[in-house]
Chain A
């Protein structure tokens, strides 16, 4: 069976600079795979290639066996890949219900309904309420996104991605900008929500090694664009030199 999402010998060069060099990774059904590495290791480039935003210099990106290299985020979202951003992305002037509704409209393929009233569509509003419920935003449905607290904005950002019913979700530092105390709370909510929503695989890009250790099945380490390791979590943390590379260089910055 093909992996949910995988890269094959993926490379990306910017001019003469090789940002990503021959990277082959795969996320299988039921897995949470973390990508770690110091700043400048190529994590962002990898994410942008995985979401079809960038065209690879060589190699391929496959989603459920189909090549999706460079097809763009819209097509990938339609295929079933969702992304939550490192920096919180919201629609400032949309309410919580409208934000989640945007994804639900896409998912239910109702985007070209020009004249049917959104408010009267029970199918959409039911799904919006369900998703808001999972993320504890149900009491905020009519609140303007710009006026939410920082933590709620983060939840809304992720909730809207989940509303696509994705098969795979790509979490780009989902707990950045959240207090240390809340990090585990948010991760637990995310993983619980992923199960409820039927998400089959999660790719997590994360700096916080505590979170990586607690929730990953497998860890992929990148350094200077190259793959350093692809190991089960326990094996990864059994190798002190590997941890040194990943964390040590990060502290150096």
Chain B
């Protein structure tokens, strides 16, 4: 009942994204690359927020792990395979998330949020101040890498991003999405949702509340690193801006914009944000002002976000028919 509907949405969405580079100019296709990065990161972010009930204000830290990890693995160590980079940064982010999460998940609500924010700021200052290691405010170069062992040397950067890398990221999003779909619909995912709804009651049903919060934190860190590696690859730079707390806020924004109560909400949010930002930036220098107004409107008027709004309309149409 539920699954076919979700499957139709997923297949239709993937098809539209797959057709886009054929009809849109390369600039637009390359603009979509950050969307894939954010969408994957948000899948993980929402396992923590939408499914486990923990709102992290420091998640850009894991984007940073991905981008700086790519710079270190590909730039410093010279391992130019993007697959190797993805595996390494994911493992590194998850390993780092273990002690950080261990401390953070002892708290919930605003205290969890503030603690994640603090760790995010700490990581940002590290990147900013340790100039000789991280390049400080100028960041670290992320060189062009091979994907699936292929160099695509004939393509210039925009062409490369608009075609091979675009499809590569689409495939990554589909795989990451399928995996996450399995996770949230597993017995493990059920326990996470029980924790979100009522942690006290969950404890009495032998749900390992703290360990599961930690597991969700670690998994979400892995997703964040994959997203960050894509973002770093696109810009060619791992920049401390990527880790600044406003980036963490942006992740929260995207999740709320799309609707964190729905599996696809954060993906829709990432898409809407990417397109909105691009359009607004070309229209006015006050684009942040407009984004802020939109966020306020969503929170007050449509707490379910874009997906919640669409679902409401669909249900109303179904009732009318």
Contacts and interface: CB of A to CB of B under 8 A. Distances in A.
A91 B183 contact: no
A102 B190 CA distance: 7
B46 to A, nearest CB: 15
Contact of A115 (B3, B186, B204, B207): B186
A105 B204 CA distance: 13
A10 interface: no
Contacts of A217: none
Contact of A114 (B182, B193, B203, B208): B182
Given A73-B203, A90-B201, A101 B193 contact: no
Contacts of A119: 3, 185
A106 B190 CA distance: 11
Contact of A124 (B187, B198, B208, B209): B187
A25 B205 CA distance: 24
Nearest to A77: B206
Given A98-B193, A114-B183, A117-B182, A83 B188 contact: no
A118 B193 CA distance: 13
B59 interface: no
Given A114-B186, A115-B179, A115-B182, A106 B201 contact: no
A183 interface: no
B207 A161 contact: no
A113 B186 contact: yes
A99 B208 CA distance: 15
A127 interface: no
A119 B183 CA distance: 12
A111 B200 contact: no
A160 B205 contact: yes
B206 A107 contact: yes
Contact of B207 (A98, A102, A114): A102
B186 A118 contact: yes
A177 to B, nearest CB: 16
A85 B206 contact: no
A92 interface: yes
Interface in B184-218: 185-191, 193-194, 196-198, 200-209, 212
A222 interface: no
Contacts of A99: 194
A116 B187 contact: yes
A101 B202 CA distance: 12
Interface residues of A, number: 40
Given A74-B208, A90-B198, A93-B193, A113 B188 contact: yes
Interface in A75-117: 77-78, 82-83, 85, 89-94, 98-99, 101-103, 105-107, 110-117
Contacts of A102: 190-191, 194, 202, 205, 207
Of B185, B186, B189, the most chain A CB neighbours within 10 A belong to B186
A118 B204 contact: no
Given A114-B183, A118-B186, A118-B189, A91 B204 contact: no
Contacts of B198: 89-92
A51 interface: yes
A121 interface: yes
A35 interface: no
Contact of B185 (A89, A107, A117): A117
Contact of B190 (A78, A98, A157): A98
Contact of B203 (A72, A111, A116, A124): A72
A103 B206 contact: yes
A194 interface: no
A92 to B, nearest CB: 6
Given A90-B198, A92-B197, A106 B186 contact: no
Interface string A110-152: 1111111111010010000000000000000000000000000
A90 B196 CA distance: 11
A163 B204 CA distance: 11
Interface of A: 51, 72-74, 77-78, 82-83, 85, 89-94, 98-99, 101-103, 105-107, 110-119, 121, 124, 157, 160-161, 163-164
22 contacts: A51-B204, A74-B207, A74-B209, A90-B201, A93-B196, A94-B190, A94-B194, A98-B193, A101-B190, A105-B190, A105-B191, A106-B191, A111-B187, A111-B191, A113-B188, A114-B183, A116-B187, A117-B186, A118-B185, A119-B3, A119-B185, A163-B205
The 6 A-B residue pairs whose C-beta atoms are closest, nearest first, are: A77-B206, A106-B206, A91-B197, A89-B201, A105-B187, A103-B205
